[in-house]
Structure 1
Amino acid sequence: MYTLLSGLYKYMFRRDEYCILILGLDNAGKTTFLEQTKTRFNRNYKGMSLSKITTTVGLNIGTIDVGKARLMFWDLGGQDELQSLWDKYYAESHGVIYVIDSTDEERLSESKRAFEKVVTSEALEGVPILVLANKQDVETCLSIPDIKTAFSDCINKIGKRDCLTQACSALTGQVCMEVFSYLPELSISVLRKG
């Protein structure tokens, strides 16, 4: 009897799980974005102090529930030597959030090359992408049009997939509210692709 009730409970409250990769160069704000997301969507999550976040070596994992979907975020380290491992996670991915440091103009071309590798991967063909221009709270940051211009030759490589570029400030979380409101749309897009 217990097995029957347990199975019924699991069936009734089951959530489809989808994996969202958070990619970008080191120091772009990926982990800070993940922490803000977990804090925003998980009522009981206290979160770590944003000032104590250091460079990710390996990956960080976070889970949120959006409607009947469970989104599992894999925040992968962005150092050059770790980027070669990104493609090991592509096959299980249903969506990508690519984070750009809007204050680091010197590394913008390096970020573009990494983004190009992501969008040209056959394993990610058709997978929706959300591009976050992070650190928009800094006065000297690049604007969205500046970033789109720098990444303009990547546009035709994006292919037939949902793609959105959004301003973000993971540290303050204020601008992230718009991004947070897009997550349910991303999950719907993920559900369509999955």
Structure 2
Amino acid sequence: MLLSKYSDYIIYVVDSSDTDRLVIAKEEFLAILEEEELRGAAVLIFANKQDLLGALDDATVTESLELHKIKNQQWAIFKTSAIKGEGLLEGLDW
């Protein structure tokens, strides 16, 4: 069997309640997108911890990560609560 050195998908989980680290999450995310092996991979973002008060909504996380700048890859963002199991299957179905 021939294995590709490239990935088809990226799943990136963001702690929506940790607004202080969102800048770091963006920097790390953008660095991941620059990896040769990940070019063209579909990007799934989980805006996690939606069950917590003060969690940023998916639109705010989208803006913070500058997802609108991704032009050469499909991407989607889903609000999730891993602890409650909400939004995970919807994201994976995408």
- Please indicate, yes or no, whether the TM-score normalized by the shorter chain is above 0.5: yes
Task: Give the match's secondary structure for 2:83.
Answer: coil
1:172 to 73, 84, 90: 84
Q: Which runs of 5+ in 1 are unaligned?
A: 1-15, 20-90, 183-194
Aligned-residue identity in percent: 28
Preserved contact between residue 99 and residue 132 of structure 1 (Cα < 8 Å): yes
Q: For residues 75-90 of structure 1, what are the structure 2 equivalents within 5 Å?
A: none
| Cα distance change on mapping 1:177 and 1:95 into 2, 3 Å | closer
Larger Rg: 1
TM-score normalised by the chain length of structure 1 = 0.43
> The residue matched to 2:55 in structure 1 has which SS?
coil
Asked if structure 2 preserves the Cα contact closer than 8 Å seen for 1:126 and 1:159, the reply is no
TM-score (norm 2): 0.83
Q: 2:68 aligns with which of 113, 130, 155?
A: 155
Q: What is the CA-CA distance between 1:92 and the residue it aligns to?
A: 4.3
Higher relative contact order, chain-length normalized (CA < 8 Å, sep 6+):
2
Offset at residue 148 of structure 1 (A): 1.4
**Contact 2:8 2:40 survives alignment (8 Å):** no
Partner SS state of residue 165, structure 1: strand
Q: Deviations over 1:84-120 (max 9, x none)?
A: xxxxxxx442211000000100100000000000112
CA contact (8 A) 1:100 1:133 kept: yes
Q: Which amino acid aligns with 1:121?
A: E
Equivalent-residue separation in structure 1 for 2:59 and 2:10 (angstroms): 21
Distance change >3 Å, CA 181–CA 123, structure 1 → 2: closer
Q: What is the total number of aligned residue pairs between the two structures?
A: 93
Bigger share in helix: 1
